[in-house]
Structure 1
Amino acid sequence: MLAAQLAPSLWGLGCSSVYIQSIGLFPSARMNGIIPHVFGSPPTQGQHPLETVLVKKVDSPHNLVETVQWLETFLQSPIGTLGHYRVVVIDSISSICHFHFTNTRESMMERTAIVKVVSNGLRLLAKKYDLVVVAVNDVIEVSQYEYNSGSNMIMSNGRKVRPAALGKFWSNNISTRIFLSKTYNNSTGGWDRTISLLSSPVLENDGCSFIISNAGVVDV
């Protein structure tokens, strides 16, 4: 959301963002700490970078459906048009569903119906308004029964995990999958992190390692 504000010549999009949040508080302290590393200096007088991030709180799957519908109205409004909003982040899609559905057949059918509406709505909005939609998903630790299958799994923090499942319909509507994992480094006393491209229609699967330090994100 911060890098998206940079000019295209600096690999940004020159745009504003909508942050759809399901749990916790907006991480303003962490974002403020990142700003100097993205823009090269602390904010000066004028518009603060976080003022171009519109935060929308969502507390239920049904509220998420309403928010997707609201999003198109907002993008067509004078504020949405003048603000050039082109990035939408949902944090996180799985947490919105996790606490509101049970494992009963009726509940799973309701979840599937809502996921279809949200997925189709976001895909249509992305195409119509040239949006980048980032949906954060959680991971779950695999069971002992699944442990040796090796399918769609990766190591993170010493555990074998996989993305939380939201059904085939959701999976089929995701064009690019990026996996973030971390491993504690006993030598440095910090976390070694890896970003992996798991699937993409235009790029080969690949990854790189990095750390987060006082200097920002550093390649290792």
Structure 2
Amino acid sequence: MIAAVRPSISTMPGLTIGDTIPDLELETTHGKIKIHDYVGDSFCIIFSHPADFTPVCTTELGGMAKCMPEFQKSGVKLLGVSCDDVESHKEWIKDVESFTPGSHVRYPIAADPKREAIKQLNMVDPDEKDAEGKPLPSRALHIVGPDRKVKASMLYPASTGRSMEEVVRVVQSLQLAAKYMVATPVNWKPGDPVVISPGVSDEEAKRMFPQGFEVKDLPSKKGYLRFTQIES
């Protein structure tokens, strides 16, 4: 018989969907913040970068800055995280704004030189190390709700830049789901029809969605695929 082995702390799962984001106190380019206070009653995107003055990260910070008007319109806050210090971040921002014309990095970027925050935020790259052998942040992103819980996470390798359009799309999907009993189908984009959650009966759906809904005719004859139009 093979005995069950309890995983060590280092192999236990890290922060994931449904978990409460840790209320860390961070030094940022906007001064000291506590994550829970910063999130407040908003959705918040917390995203990490392997290091300052690196090519893919520079393009991403500019991309986030260009999307900021869209995020602000939806009441979404941004918080960047990189392991370098605040002064390095401030110098780096000059490169970011120069490379991406029209971008203004008005969101805070947290410093994490001791690599403590990235461990608690589950943003450590297991393979990437700096010149001193210290771990570097992964290209990770958590979308946090007003209840301080992680609603979505994205994880990319250092070599692959994120799609800002996808980040915006996911946030808008999450906000629709939080406001209405709906979900967004494959390849959904704002303005497209959404599906009504299975937990909503047809009678409830008629009250909740006076604009009406369409039930798709499927071979199973189960009327679970119901589409409706909602202004996002």
Give the TM-score category using the shorter length.
Answer: under 0.3
TM-score when scaled to structure 2?
Answer: 0.25
Higher strand share: 1
Higher helix share: 1
TM-score when scaled to structure 1?
Answer: 0.26
Larger radius of gyration: 2
